[in-house]
Amino acid sequence: MNLFSTKGFGQDCPENFKLPSYEVFSMKMLCLRDIEYSRDGRRILRPINMRFREGMSYSILGPNGAGKSTIARIVMGELKPTSGQILLDGEDITGLSVTERAKLGISMAWQEPARYEGITVQEYLTLGGKLRTNKDELQEVLELVGMPYELYAHRFVDKSLSGGERKRVELASLLLLKPRYAILDEPDSGLDITAGKLIELILNRFRKCGTTVILITHHEGIALKTEFAYFVCSGRIIRRGFSREVVDYYRKTCRRCSFAEG
Ligand code: ADP
Ligand code: MG
């Protein structure tokens, strides 16, 4: 088990230090422990070890096809790993369903959010009135994602919304939900050049709520906005640590790699 192996990683970052096992099983954090995933005989994820401490923000940075969305779907419980465990505060949650994990406070904004006929933005964001919130908060969150309440609250979450607008609704929904863990899969894709600023506003708001953010991206500029990062390629962690160091390494190595797409 190499849950917190420091081999090959920078030494200054707290994320690189090996934790004694009593801390692994008592600290407030989400851990991926030796997670592997194979499909049709193909290894998509090699043994992956990650930890996400409460209240911190993390990027999972890597080129297309690296395995980033697969990691997210395994954390959410949408895919079952071939081997390994997911631990939440030391409890094994590997066998739990998506709904059970959502109840524990793990939520996700998907890379390609779904559309729903006949449901308004307001109904969607308030879970049909089930979520405890008020108009001021709804207004504030919609404003934050660049969708004025008056213009959007009563629009339908169907194909009349553009892909970018749909992504903004999805992000607003997570902000209102205030989960313990928010996984954002490529939140900047489909958005315009203001995406970087929007991601910053979203990260600040999550920080205030104490939400741990796991932000998946293939843009190093976006990865720089979180505190820590994992650089993933070909189903392996290539580097972990402070985002600045990880992004520097990514810039030096990834663009020159002939295996990387795009
Ligand atoms: P990323 O999100 O980093 O772009 P993914 O996790 O989506 O990467 O994919 C990782 C690898 O798994 C890729 O090589 C991809 O082709 C493969 N993969 C993803 N989904 C499927 C699927 N449904 N069937 C077969 N292979 C898949
Ligand atoms: Mg993906």
Evaluate: CB of 66 within 6 angstroms of ligand 1: yes
pLDDT at 187 over 70: yes
Is the Cβ–Cβ distance between 124 and 157 less than 8 Å? yes
The verdict on the CB of residue 70 being under 6 Å from ligand 1 is yes
Residue 23 C-alpha to ligand 1 middle, in angstroms?
A: 33
Cα 252 to Cα 262: distance, rounded to the nearest angstrom: 16
- Nearest 5 degrees, angle CA 113-CA 230-CA 102? 40
Angle at 209 (CA atoms; ends 79, 157), nearest 5 degrees = 60
Mutate to test the pocket of ligand 1, among 39, 45, 60, 214 (most ligand atoms within 8 A of CB): 39
Q: Give the pLDDT confidence score for residue 1 in this predicted structure.
A: 45
Contact between residue 240 and residue 12 where contact means Cβ atoms under 8 Å apart:
no
Place of tokens 């505060």: 89
- Residue 258 pLDDT grade (very low, low, confident, very high; cuts 50, 70, 90): low
CATH of domain 14-253: 3.40.50.300
Question: In 103-136, which positions are buried (b, 16+ CB within 10 angstroms) versus exposed (e)?
Answer: ebbbbbbbbebebeeeebbbbbbbeeeeeebeee
pLDDT value, residue 171: 95
Residue range 70-82, pLDDT digits in tens: 999 999 999 999 9
The pLDDT of residue 3 is above 80: no
Nearest bound ligand to the CA of residue 66: 1
pLDDT of res. 2? 47
- Whole-prediction pTM: 0.91
5 vs 37, which has greater pLDDT? 37
Q: Nearest CA to 39 among 67, 61, 64?
A: 67
Between the CA of 70 and the centroid of ligand 1 the distance, in Å, is 7
> In the predicted model, is pLDDT for residue 260 greater than 60?
no
Output the average pLDDT for the chain. 90
Instruction: Name the closest ligand to CA 259.
Output: 1
- pLDDT per position as a tens digit, 192-249: 777 899 999 999 999 999 999 999 999 999 999 999 999 999 999 999 999 999 999 9
Q: What percent of the chain is predicted at pLDDT more than 70? A: 89
DSSP letter string, 115-176: --TT-BHHHHHTTTTTS---HHHHHHHHHHTT--HHHHTTSBSSTTS-HHHHHHHHHHHHHH
